[in-house]
Amino acid sequence: METTIRLNINTKQELDNFKQYKNESYNELIRKLIYIAKLCENEPKLSQKTIQEIKQARERIKKGEFYTEEEAKKILGL
């Protein structure tokens, strides 16, 4: 079942800025945010580290500093 929600334009822009890739759905994005919120609630120290790692990974992705699946397989000899 799907539903529609109303967002303030600023909230939508912030969600758009948080996307890791252009076609990431809002459902995927919100699920990711829920996961992070629950992680912070359950393990705050680990969560700070996790959040920092996510930020760093997002920056690398935006800069194009990542391996494709095929490149990773080749490096790992798979």
CA–CA separation, 64 and 49 (whole Å):
23
Residue 10: pLDDT above 90? yes
- Express each pLDDT in 30-62 by its tens digit: 998 898 888 877 777 767 788 888 889 888 888
Rounded mean pLDDT of 55-70? 86
- Predicted pLDDT of residue 11: 92
